[in-house]
Chain A
Amino acid sequence: MSIALDPPRWRAAAELFDEALELSATERPAFLDRVCAAGSELRAAVEALIAADRNAADFLERPAVEHAEAMAVSRVGERIGAFRLVREIGRGGMGEVYRAERDDGQFDQRVAIKLIQARPASERLLRDFLRERRILARLEHPHIARLFDGGMTADGHPYLIMEYVEGEAITTWCEAKRLPLEDRLRLFLAVCEAVEAAHQAQVVHRDLKPSNILVGGQGHVKLLDFGIARTMDHESTASSTALPRLTPLYAAPEQIRGERATAATDVYTLGLLLHEILTGVPAHRVQRAAPGELVRAILEDEPEPPSTVAARQRELGTPAVPPRRLRGDLDRIVLKALQKEPAHRYPSVAALAGDLRRHLDGLPVTARADRAAKPLRRWRLEASSRGRRTVPARSRL
């Protein structure tokens, strides 16, 4: 059964649909009686739309490509090595991650198994993958999720067996517990230790973001997903199939420009993380999210000092970290880590951690001496959530 709708009648139906939705279900029939002829096609159309609206639930709310994702097979129940895949816990750019349990009756062990989707297409890629695996397996640190082993499935997909980590993203943890400043800094310093240890082993993480840094029930922090890290001396081509997708929100300018990531890239992303840990919100938050705007902001806009952001957050409630504690040295430390030019950032994660420790000890920080480095360019604030636009005056660090 099909009603012949044409553009004008569709428009009429759509407008009545809008109006009808403003009314309660009991008021609607009377409204429709008033505006539509009884038994008319127009009324039938409006009622059909209303019914569809009621039943649609989350229809189309998931972007189309996620249907494509769901089309892939889940491997729950399969056996890989000595383990059986118990539950899918994530699906990312590189493949799926499963929770797995030891299946050979030897002892109880829970691990995470990451299945890489791309079959290494060439000998070279396979060699690369194995070399990285060897290097990552050497990373032993209390704050880094261990890589235990790896292999290849019967149908040719590489997999990694890793320590299973449960926890909350570090930023969520800090906010939920309303951690005071010192505790947040100590947690962050543990993260720095881990990243520095990796750098010492010539490994760059390249994808540090809150969801990769989990805090467990005991308050112990662990870094995940070094699986996408690259060794610093490895020549990677931009089109390598093993390269997973970047999370733009936590990308450094050089990554956006497609350049190689270095230790300085990790310093930058740690700066973003620190900013968010101190203020409770991501550093590059673009309110009016025009397409491409975030990229532009990362490449061009100077980030706001944490104290400014925290002061604004006060409008929404009492922040766990008072803005005045952030003004001064902590602002300087964060902004130094977030310099667009890698050479202007801290030379190492250890240097960043060093300044933070000095701050905790009440000592002067090296970031203070940088006042000549760059005057803070006038930055544009995006329209605030209340629709106001503010342009602050120039200021110097």
Chain B
Amino acid sequence: MPEAPEAPGDVTQLLAAARDGDRSALSRLFDLVYHELRRIARGQRHEGGETLRATALVHEAYLKMMQGAALPPEDRGHFFSTAARAMRQILVDRARRRNAQKRGAGAGIELLDEEQLGTGASAEEILGVDRALERLEELDPRLVHLVELRFYAGLSVEETAVALAVSERTVKRDWRRARAFLFEQLSGGPTI
């Protein structure tokens, strides 16, 4: 749903409404952030692979949308949670497109980068993590939220703790749990 970016005041209102549980405000906010992140990402690079910088992207979206206006901490946290979900969506979409490309005419060229870099199937990993997160959502949605902030928005342990209003110790404990679960899901036959 492409539109012009909204004024900071509108975003603030949306955040406040979302904080009060207004689901349509949350959905609208997601659309805005998603759009903004894609716009920024497109402005960065193109052709043959895109470069995105995790926290820089999310912080940049924050800057562009808020333009230095002050936000109370819980709304800031909310913004970053929304941005994290939007990032997840963007990356999953891209990984799917990349996979589709590989299977198509350009297969020879696309495969080359992974072999050269030896980093393994990055697009596969993105998709695999996404599937595993859907599984985790059924068991522990709170952990999914944390993974989104850490892995997709690229927030540090400290930043995540503030965004979730929990202690760093809790973040570290939960992160360890989440990583173990997700790794288990990805590495061969899931036991769990």
Residues of A with Cβ closer than 8 Å to B?
1-3, 5-7, 10-11, 13-14, 17-18, 21, 44-45, 48-53, 55-56, 59-60, 63-74, 91, 93, 95, 117-119, 239, 241, 243-248, 256-258, 287-296, 299
Chain A residues whose C-beta falls within 8 Å of the C-beta of B63 in the assembled complex: 256, 258, 295
Given the contacts A49-B181, A59-B183, A5 and B139 also touching, CB distance less than 8 Å: yes
Known: A118-B46, A119-B47, A295-B59. A63 touches B54 (CB 8 A): yes
Residues of chain B from 161 to 192 with CB closer than 8 A to chain A in the complex? 162-163, 173, 176-177, 179-184, 187, 189-192
- A and B contact pairs by CB, cutoff 8 A, 12 listed: A2-B192, A49-B184, A53-B176, A53-B179, A59-B182, A64-B54, A64-B88, A70-B122, A71-B114, A248-B59, A290-B77, A295-B68
Q: Name which residue of chain B comes closest to A4, CB basis.
A: B192
Considering only residues 66-118 of chain B, those with a C-beta below 8 Å from chain A are 66-68, 70-71, 73, 76-77, 79-80, 87-88, 91, 94, 98, 112-114, 116-117
Measured CB to CB, the nearest residue on chain A to B66 is: A292
B interface residues, how many (CB within 8 angstroms): 76
CB–CB A290/B76 < 8 A: yes
A69, B51: Cβ atoms under 8 Å? yes
Q: In the complex, what residue of chain A is closest to B135 when comparing beta carbons?
A: A5
Q: Are B162 and A1 in contact (CB under 8 A)?
A: no
- Are A299 and B191 also in contact (CB < 8 A) when A65-B53, A292-B59 are? no
* Given A5-B192, A291-B162; A68-B150 close (CB under 8 Å): no
Do residues A296 and B70 form an inter-chain contact, with CB atoms below 8 A?
Answer: yes
Looking at chain B's contact residues, is the secondary structure mostly helix, strand, loop, or mixed? helix
Nearest CB in chain A: distance from B115 CB, A: 11
Q: Is B31 an interface residue (CB 8 A)?
A: no
Contacts of B119 on A, CB cut-off 8 Å? 67, 70
B16 at the binding interface (Cβ < 8 Å): no
Are B150 and A60 in touch, CB under 8 angstroms?
Answer: yes
CA distance A323 to B190 in the complex (A): 58
Distance between B98 CB and nearest chain A CB, rounded to angstroms: 7
Task: Report the nearest A residue to B159, measured CB to CB.
Answer: A289
Give B89 Cβ to nearest chain A Cβ, in Å.
Answer: 11
CB distance from A79 to the nearest CB of B (A): 17
Looking at the assembled complex, report how far the CB atom of A304 sits from the nearest CB atom of chain B, in whole angstroms: 20
Q: Among the listed B51, B162, B173, which residue makes an inter-chain contact with A68, where contact means beta carbons less than 8 Å apart?
A: B51
CB atoms of A60 and B179 under 8 A apart: yes
Q: Determine the distance from Cα of A210 to Cα of B104 in the docked complex, in whole angstroms.
A: 44
Q: A55-B187, A60-B129 are in contact. Are A257 and B68 (CB under 8 A)?
A: yes
* Inter-subunit contact B180/A60 (CB<8 Å): no
Give the residues in chain A near B54, CB-CB below 8 Å.
Answer: 63-66
CA distance A45 to B114 in the complex (A): 33
